[in-house]
Amino acid sequence: MNKEKKIENLIKATHRAAMPKTDDFYYTRLSSKLETRNKHSLKKRVIIGAGILAINSLVLFFTFNKEKDQEHYSFDQAAEYFASAYEQHVNFGLNERK
Amino acid sequence: MEEQQLIKALKEGNRSAYQILVENNKDMVYGLCFSYLNNFQDAEDTSQEVFIQVYRSIHNFQEKSSLKTWIYRITISKCQDFIKARNRKKRFAFLTGYQEVEERWESNAQTPQQLLENKENMELLHRAIEKLSENQKNVFILNHIQGKTNVEISELLGMPKSTVDSHIKRAKDKIRVLLKDILD
């Protein structure tokens, strides 16, 4: 048989060459793999959720502390403002009497 | 079970429906994976990945095509991903793929000699197919190995029939040239 004919037969033969089939335990292995994946997926979700919660907690903690500092700063600032305003008022009153 | 009922049951998460789906399609999926990957273990791993993907994505299935067509497309996509990953890792498992037990081949061959010849022929052909472009490989495998018509391939791959015809012709011409080199 010449080479060209051999090649043609080879290409045609692929239609007849049957594909391998799965064995009887294929579904058992698939189910097991699916359950393992679902379990890992749940574990991953829990870890990611806990991580997000931890990060949120840290952000809230630092934000709260910063706001508390700002409250003090605002209070001090307000006290200084009123002291300065009072002094000006007193000086104004003194000047008016003059 | 009718396809509509099966899809409805799958979307509801019915495990029995999933088992029916796997039983009805496992040989097709496994066979198609083997056509691409030329290795029993890789074909089994990839076909399992296909069904896991089907299980997770069934609620996104919009029924614009048949369930079988949708599964076919997922299979082709998973095989292509596997090949890309394999090329990156430069594994050569396909060279040992044909040393698996003969019992997994169910062929029309009547004698062990014909069975062996089938295996050798498939190995030669797969080496040549590996060298085709992605589109040519897809259409050649679906046409010559899976026995799909050009119209079916056009629907599966979402390309015009004329494009499928052109790819098949080029694939066959290239295979002839490659097999000449291999047979030399």
Contact A10 B34 (CB under 8 A): no
* Listed residue (B22, B23, B29) closest to B46, CA to CA: B29
Chain B residues whose CB is inside 8 A of the A17 CB are 107, 118, 121-122, 145
Task: Report whether pLDDT(B119) > 80.
Answer: no
Chain B residues whose CB is inside 8 A of the A23 CB are 104
Q: How far is B102 from chain A, CA to nearest CA, in Å?
A: 10
Element (H, E) at B151: helix B150-157
Q: What proportions of chain B, in percent to the nearest 5, are helix, strand and coil?
A: 80, 0, 20
* Residue-level pLDDT at B169: 92
* Residue-level pLDDT at B129: 86
pTM value is 0.70
Name the residue among A11, A13, A26 with its Cβ closest to that of B172.
Answer: A11
How far apart are the C-alpha atoms of A19 and B27, rounded to whole Å?
8
Name the residue among B26, B105, B106 with its Cβ closest to that of A26.
Answer: B26
Task: Report whether pLDDT(B52) > 60.
Answer: yes
- Determine if residue B157 is left, alpha or beta; phi over 0 gives left, psi from -120 to 50 gives alpha, anything else beta: alpha
The answer to whether B66 contacts chain A (CB < 8 Å) is no
Size of interface A-B (CB pairs under 8 A): 86
Q: How far is A15 from chain B, CA to nearest CA, in Å?
A: 5
The ranges of chain A with pLDDT < 70 are 1, 13-18, 64-75, 81, 85-86, 89-98
How large is the average pLDDT for residues B8-31? 92
Using alpha carbons only, give the angle B161, B162, B163 rounded to the nearest 5 degrees.
90
B101 falls in which pLDDT band (50, 70, 90)?
very low
The answer to whether B72 contacts chain A (CB < 8 Å) is no
Chain B residues whose CB is inside 8 A of the A22 CB are 26-27, 30, 44, 47
Query: Could you report the per-residue pLDDT of B122-171, keeping only the tens digit for each?
Result: 777 788 888 899 899 999 888 888 888 999 999 999 899 999 999 999 99
Chain A residues whose CB is inside 8 A of the B121 CB are 10, 13-14, 17
* Chain B residue at shortest CA distance from A36: B52
How far apart are the C-alpha atoms of B39 and B125, rounded to whole Å?
14
Chain B residues whose CB is inside 8 A of the A6 CB are 183
B107 falls in which pLDDT band (50, 70, 90)?
very low
Element (H, E) at B117: helix B112-129
Contact B48 A29 (CB under 8 A): yes
Instruction: Collect all residues with Cβ–Cβ distance below 8 Å to B31 and sequence separation of at least 6.
Output: A19, A20, A21, B146
* Listed residue (B174, B179, B139) closest to A5, CA to CA: B179
